[in-house]
């Protein structure tokens, strides 16, 4: 009996026994029919993406142009031949059903976005993993094996199962986020990736637009991202952090030098910023405010020689969500969720931007704000993009005394923004189409954290001279 006939008989037996039908993809490997498009759902990468994909009926050729790697993802029983790819191309059968390993924790965020994180079995530094569904099951990754179908990494390796994400801070937040499309190709989860990426892009643009229309002629606040790397104090000025800062309506700190071995010079450079966000890696057991002050050479004494960000408690870190051993979720999820990073960055400056929203990752470290701990009982698979409604917010209503001339901070007790906002037609339509799919899942997931993701304001839409006007009637 031929193998094909055996498989057909087996299939018939399975059908008679009422076992669920194998997917289209499974049929590709067991009952291949020439001419069938086995990848009806497709992703496309933007022109400035670091990836390219070309679909054929039973395989897809994927290029990583940064790492110069080619992956041939095929669904047939045997890998295709003579298809004109470089000799070092990697061949991986899809959908990958074996274990997934990650050498970089950030890959988990992208897998979560397409609902695949539960299939991650191995991670380098498993103690860093924060995903509630993985905390108890994840094992230490010590190398490729035949139990492992794919290894997502940031450091290229010759092994045939390693796929390079090529994440770096020299790219924009949305460019990083398109890795969700890359990882989806390995599991035929293109539909999930398209939905997630589109919603993320829409929410990101919405937050950026809100900051832009609210702050156009206003005094912007300045933000410096900093890190001590063991030998120098750095002001981080790469595309990723600059883009985020600008899109959050703030002024990035631009200085001639970005790396300082002399602490005094560093302190002088950052003296006038409104917000300092520290990204220094600390052993969780060593991370205290007094250790931080010591490392950065500050004394908290409320005098004129102490910068405002110390006296007014505006030193932030990214540890708002942690696992029970203190490892920070930021490294796992922020790159896959740029919309929420941006919302955080606007919210620390203007706490009433989204009413009742407490930033997800950005934590007022100087004010000893406690982190939210996520543990295994919080396991809800998948990830949802943010919700965002287009509309200006009241930049005076920022609840803090920031010493600029914004007016009566912190005493606007009725909370009313009372704004009539003129939006372009596109903006108005976006407002109408405000995406809301994600709020529920997120809220359920981190229940103690997300009291309320978004309190929708009551608005009235009117058309004035071809422009849609959004008028907030009451809060
Ligand atoms: C599939 O069909 C194409 C043309 O439609 C043909 O060139 C190719 O050889 C066929 N492949 C197999 C495996 O039969
Ligand atoms: C991917 O790279 C291969 C080999 O370098 C090239 O032949 C192919 O055209 C590229 N694919 C795309 C979609 O650019
Ligand atoms: C990319 O890989 C191909 C195949 O190994 C090689 O011929 C080519 O020189 C590489 N290009 C770069 C820019 O490294
Ligand atoms: C993921 O894991 C689940 C449960 O372990 C398994 O049923 C499923 O087939 C896996 N999915 C893939 C695509 O590997
Ligand atoms: C993961 O943990 C190790 C040691 O526990 C640490 O050195 C490393 O920086 C951590 N990585 C991330 C991304 O948190
Ligand atoms: C993981 O494996 C590496 C290499 O074998 C080892 O150095 C490390 O201590 C292990 N980590 C854990 C948490 O078991
Ligand atoms: C996502 O956006 C692209 C381009 O704008 C569009 O082609 C695609 O259909 C969208 N996908 C979804 C699921 O909305
Ligand atoms: C992102 O940053 C790059 C480099 O810093 C810059 O060229 C680009 O205009 C920025 N984009 C946005 C949207 O701010
Ligand atoms: C997880 O956290 C909840 C409350 O936040 C606690 O009741 C529970 O015991 C914790 N579970 C584990 C496994 O740590």
Could you read off the pLDDT of 416-446 as tens digits, one per residue?
222 222 222 233 223 322 323 232 233 333 3
Q: Give the model confidence (pLDDT) of 121-179 as tens digits.
A: 999 999 999 999 999 999 999 999 999 999 999 999 999 999 999 999 999 999 999 99
Domain ranges of the chain: 20-95, 206-452
pLDDT number for residue 462: 34
Task: Report if pTM > 0.85.
Answer: no
Shortest-distance atom of ligand 1 to CA 32: 13
> Atom 10 (ligand 5): residue with closest C-alpha?
128
Q: Give the model confidence (pLDDT) of 342-375 as tens digits.
A: 999 999 999 999 988 999 999 999 999 999 999 9
* pLDDT reading at 11 higher than 60: no
What's the gap in Å between 69 CA and the centre of ligand 2? 10
CB atoms within 10 A of CB 104: 21
Q: Ligand 5: list residues with CB < 6 Å.
A: 105, 125, 127-128, 281, 327, 331
| Mean pLDDT score of the chain | 82
Establish whether residue 195 lines the binding site of ligand 7, counting it when its CB lies within 6 angstroms of any ligand atom: yes
| Cβ–Cβ < 8 Å for 320, 371 | yes
- Return the closest-CA partner of residue 245 out of 276, 270, 218, 267: 276
pLDDT number for residue 412: 31
DSSP-assigned beta bridge partners for residue 288: none
* Structure token pair of residue 295: 């490392």
470 compared with 295, residue with greater pLDDT: 295
Establish whether residue 86 lines the binding site of ligand 2, counting it when its CB lies within 6 angstroms of any ligand atom: yes
Tell me which ligand sits closest to the C-alpha of residue 58.
Answer: 1
| Cβ–Cβ < 8 Å for 370, 322 | no
Say how far apart CA 283 and CA 295 lie, in whole Å. 13
* pLDDT reading at 470 higher than 50: no
User: What are the backbone angles phi and psi of residue 9, rounded to the nearest 5°?
Assistant: -65, -45
- Return the closest-CA partner of residue 392 out of 412, 421, 415, 416: 421
pLDDT number for residue 68: 96
Say how far apart CA 47 and CA 33 lie, in whole Å. 33
User: What are the backbone angles phi and psi of residue 421, rounded to the nearest 5°?
Assistant: -115, 130
Beta pairing class for 259-260 and 148-153: unpaired
**What whole-number percentage of the chain has pLDDT above 70?**
78
CA angle 22, 145, 70 (to 5 degrees): 75
* pLDDT reading at 115 higher than 70: yes
- Mark residue 433 as left, alpha or beta (left: phi above 0; alpha: psi -120 to 50; beta: remaining): alpha
pLDDT number for residue 364: 96
CA distances from 320 to 329, 369, 392 (A): 8, 8, 26
pLDDT number for residue 4: 45
**Which of 103, 104, 124, 128 to mutate to test ligand 5, by most ligand atoms within 8 A of the CB atom?**
128
Look at 40-54, 270-284, 385-399, 411-425 and tell me which has the smallest mean pLDDT: 411-425
What's the gap in Å between 44 CA and the centre of ligand 2? 14
Say how far apart CA 80 and CA 418 lie, in whole Å. 63
User: How confident is the model over 446-471, as a mean pLDDT?
Assistant: 33
Shortest-distance atom of ligand 2 to CA 89: 4
What's the gap in Å between 262 CA and the centre of ligand 8? 29
pLDDT number for residue 389: 86
Say how far apart CA 457 and CA 389 lie, in whole Å. 9
Residues near 353 by beta carbon (within 8 Å), at least 6 away in sequence: 210, 343, 346, 347, 393
User: How confident is the model over 378-384, as a mean pLDDT?
Assistant: 81
User: What are the backbone angles phi and psi of residue 147, rounded to the nearest 5°?
Assistant: -85, -15
User: How confident is the model over 272-277, as a mean pLDDT?
Assistant: 97
Look at 118-127, 200-209, 462-471 and tell me which has the smallest mean pLDDT: 462-471
pLDDT number for residue 24: 61
pLDDT number for residue 475: 31
| Cβ–Cβ < 8 Å for 135, 129 | yes
pLDDT number for residue 23: 61
Q: How big is the chain, counted in residues?
A: 475
**What whole-number percentage of the chain has pLDDT above 90?**
68
Say how far apart CA 91 and CA 74 lie, in whole Å. 7
DSSP-assigned beta bridge partners for residue 36: none
User: How confident is the model over 51-66, as a mean pLDDT?
Assistant: 97
pLDDT number for residue 465: 36
CB atoms within 10 A of CB 328: 26
Q: Give the model confidence (pLDDT) of 25-47 as tens digits.
A: 668 999 899 999 999 999 999 99
User: How confident is the model over 53-71, as a mean pLDDT?
Assistant: 97
> Atom 14 (ligand 7): residue with closest C-alpha?
195
């Amino acid at each position: 009996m031929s193998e094909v006939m055996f498989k057909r008989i087996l299939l018939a037996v399975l059908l008679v026994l009422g076992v669920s039908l194998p997917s289209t993809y499974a049929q590709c490997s067991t009952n291949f029919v020439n001419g069938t498009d086995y990848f009806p759902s497709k992703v496309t990468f933007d022109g400035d993406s670091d990836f390219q994909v070309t679909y054929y009926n039973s395989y897809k050729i994927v290029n990583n142009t940064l790492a110069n790697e080619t992956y041939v993802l095929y669904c047939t029983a045997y890998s295709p031949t003579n298809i004109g790819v470089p000799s070092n191309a990697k061949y991986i059968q899809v959908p990958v059903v074996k274990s997934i390993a990650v050498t970089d924790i950030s890959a988990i965020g992208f897998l979560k976005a397409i609902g695949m994180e539960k299939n991650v079995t191995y991670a380098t530094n498993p103690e860093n993993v924060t995903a509630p569904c993985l905390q108890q099951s994840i094992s230490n990754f010590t190398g490729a094996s035949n139990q492992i179908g794919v290894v997502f990494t940031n450091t290229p390796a010759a092994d045939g199962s390693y796929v390079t994400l090529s994440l770096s801070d020299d790219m924009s937040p949305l460019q990083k986020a398109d890795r969700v499309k890359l990882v989806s190709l390995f599991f035929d989860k293109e539909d999930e990736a398209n939905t997630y990426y589109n919603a993320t892009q829409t929410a990101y643009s919405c937050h950026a637009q809100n900051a832009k229309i609210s702050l156009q002629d206003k005094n912007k606040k300045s933000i410096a991202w900093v890190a001590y790397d063991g030998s120098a104090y750095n002001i981080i000025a790469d595309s990723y952090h600059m883009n985020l800062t600008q899109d959050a309506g703030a002024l990035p700190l631009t200085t001639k030098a970005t790396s300082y071995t002399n602490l005094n010079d560093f302190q002088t450079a950052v003296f006038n910023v409104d917000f300092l966000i520290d990204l220094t890696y600390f052993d969780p057991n060593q991370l205290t405010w007094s250790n931080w002050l010591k490392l950065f050479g500050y004394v908290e004494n409320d005098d004129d020689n102490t910068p405002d960000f110390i006296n007014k408690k505006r030193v932030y870190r990214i540890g708002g969500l942690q696992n029970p051993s203190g490892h920070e979720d930021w490294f796992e999820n922020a790159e896959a969720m740029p919309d929420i990073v941006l919302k955080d960055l606007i919210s620390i400056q203007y706490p009433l931007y989204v009413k009742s929203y407490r930033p997800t990752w950005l934590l007022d470290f100087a004010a000893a704000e406690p982190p939210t701990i996520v543990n295994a009982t919080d396991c809800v698979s998948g990830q949802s993009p943010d919700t965002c409604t287009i509309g200006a917010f009241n930049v005076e209503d920022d609840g803090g005394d920031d010493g600029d001339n914004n007016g009566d901070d912190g005493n606007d007790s009725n909370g009313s923004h009372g704004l009539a906002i003129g939006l372009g037609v596109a903006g108005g339509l976006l407002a109408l189409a405000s995406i809301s799919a994600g709020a529920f899942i997120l809220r359920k997931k981190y229940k103690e954290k997300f009291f309320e993701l978004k309190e929708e304001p009551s608005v009235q839409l009117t058309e004035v001279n071809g422009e849609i006007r959004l008028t907030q009637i009451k809060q």
